[in-house]
Amino acid sequence: MSNRTLCFLIRGNPPSEVLLGLKKTGFGAGKYAGFGGKVEVGETIEAAAVRELEEESRIKISTDDLCPLGRLKFLFPSKPNWDQVVHVFAVKAWTGNPVESDEMKPIWCRVDEIPFESMWDDAHYWLPLVLEDRKINARFVYKDDNETVGEAEVEEWDDYEQGVPSPS
């Protein structure tokens, strides 16, 4: 199962806006999501998050700017090669302005106007929690259509740094 990253740039305290990207190509094309992607061989999860964010939006951060908030396990029984574990980070400090890339078109959204209907079906279960700085561990099993969540388990825990509970 592949490891992937997902970063959400957040403005305001409490959060008032979040940067989403419209995925233009590849896995999830046509959906809004955070910025991230695959962890390459020999790369840490944090280094992958920094690299992917810059590749997709031209935003520069360091690993110290990453606030780890979740681990999401996705299972696609009818397409097991899509199974993945996604490490979710909030980012509240960065350099530069988001720029459209070949992969993503960035858009700032008010947190009360997130386009959940144009995102992966799982987002409404966990993204509001992440935007509240709540640390989560979740497991989603998609139905055979690979678009609809069939099973969802989301749990919170107090200290992400102490290790992530293992999802079933």
Residue 168 lies in a domain: no
Q: Which helix (H) or strand (E) holds 127?
A: helix 123-131
| Strands (E) located in 25-158 | 32-33, 66-75, 84-91, 104-110, 136-142, 149-156
Is residue 143 included in any domain, yes or no?
no
pTM: 0.91
The pLDDT of residue 168 is above 60: no
Identify whether 161 is part of a domain: no
Residue 79 lies in a domain: no
- The pLDDT tens digits of the residues spanning 129-167 come to 999 999 999 999 999 999 999 999 999 876 545 444 444
Find where tokens 């403005």 sit: 11
Tell me the residue type at 46.
Answer: E
The CATH code of the domain that includes 99 is: 3.90.79.10
Let me know if residue 59 belongs to a domain. yes
Whole-number Å distance between alpha carbons of 139 and 40: 23
Examine residue 144 and state whether it is found in any structural domain, yes or no. no
Domain span at 67: 2-72+84-137
% the chain with pLDDT above 70: 93
C-beta atoms surrounding 120 within 10 Å: 18
CB of 167 within 8 A of CB of 44? no
Beta bridge partners of 17: 11, 110
Answer yes or no: is 17 within a domain.
yes
In a domain, 155, yes or no: no
The domain tally of the chain equals 1
